Amino acid sequence: MEVKVFFMILLGTILVNNYVLSQILGLCPFLGVSRKLDSAVGMGLAVIFVMTLASFFTFLVYKYVLVTYNITFMSTITFILIIAALVQFVEMVIEKISPVLYNSLGIFLPLITTNCAVLGVAVLNLKSGFITAEMGLMKAVVQGFGAGVGFTLALIIMAGIRERLELAPISKNLQGLPITFMTAGLMALAFLGFSGMKF
């Protein structure tokens, strides 16, 4: 039973309610970092990492600090500061531990603070009622991880398509953002097919 719930959250966030293609979150990096496949993979990994951690910490802080002291109205400002601090911290740790990883991920980390999918997953964890639910922390972390994977999936597919688009003859006025949005629309349409999935 419990496993099924987690599986459903995971499947929901990766495919059915894909953060980029269905909930329309995290478009700035989705459009900005999808020109090359390598950088898309790097960005994706960094986002998975930060989203999972952000879900964990924002959940704990919300449940045990903000609710306890009855200051839930501070949640937005607290979350964004947690995320900013987290990103900063992750950046420093990676730099110390693995300079190789830092060289490939480093430039993406500062961008993640303003990735609205990260703040989005923190806020959605609240709205999904995980705070009062049993095993809420697990659910929140799974949702954070799934959201990151879903984001990465969309980003990688998009990067693959855009690398091909570079070579395609496209009318001048359609080049750049317009054709990217059309592609994203077609991808979203394809992902819509998952919404009929049964368990």
Partner 1 sequence: MFNSIIKPTIILTAVALISAWLLSLVNAVTAPRIEAQQKEKQKAALETVLPGYSITAEKKASSNGKELQYWEGTKTIDEKTVHTGYAYIASGQGYSGEIRTMVGVDDSGTIIAVSILQQTETPGLGARCQEVATKKTLIGTITGDNAGTESAVPWFQRQFAGLDLNMKIQVMKKGDWNESIKDELIRNNALSAITGATVTSRAVKDSIEAGMTLLRTAVTFAPRKEIAK
Partner 2 sequence: MNYWKEFIKGVWERNPILIIGLGMCPTLAVSTSISNALWMALAATFVLVFSNIIISIIKGLVPPHLRIPIFISVIATFVTMVDLSLNAYQPEVYKALGIFIPLIVVNCIILGRAEDFASKNGVVTSALDGMGMGIGFGLTLTVLAFFREFLGANKLLGLTVIPGFEPSSAMIIAPGAFFTLGLMLWAMNSYNSRRKG
197 contact choice in partner 2, partner 1, none (CB below 5 to 8 Å, kind-dependent): partner 1
CB 50 within 8 A of CB 90: yes
Per-residue interface string for the shown chain with partner 1, residues 80-99, x marking contact by CB under 8 A: -x------------------
39 binds, among partner 2, partner 1, none (CB under 5 to 8 A by kind): none
x/- track of binding to partner 1 for residues 12-41 (CB under 8 A) = xx--xx----xx------------------
Contacts 24+ apart (CB under 8 A), 194-199: 194/15, 194/16, 195/16, 195/22, 197/11, 197/15, 197/16, 199/4, 199/7, 199/8, 199/11
Helices first, then strands: H and E counts in the chain: 9, 0
Of 3, 73, 100, 198, the residue at the interface with partner 2 (CB under 8 A) is: 73
Q: How far is the CB of 132 from partner 1 (least distance, A)?
A: 9
Q: Which residues contact 177 (CB under 8 A, 6 or more apart)?
A: 31
Alpha helices in 13-106 (DSSP H): 27-32, 37-61, 75-97, 99-105
Binding site for partner 2 (CB under 8 A): 21-28, 31, 73-77, 79-81, 84, 113-116, 119-120, 123-124, 127, 172-174, 177-182, 184-186, 188-189, 192
Binding site for partner 1 (CB under 8 A): 5, 8-9, 12-13, 16-17, 22-23, 71, 73-74, 77, 81, 124, 127-130, 133, 192, 195-199
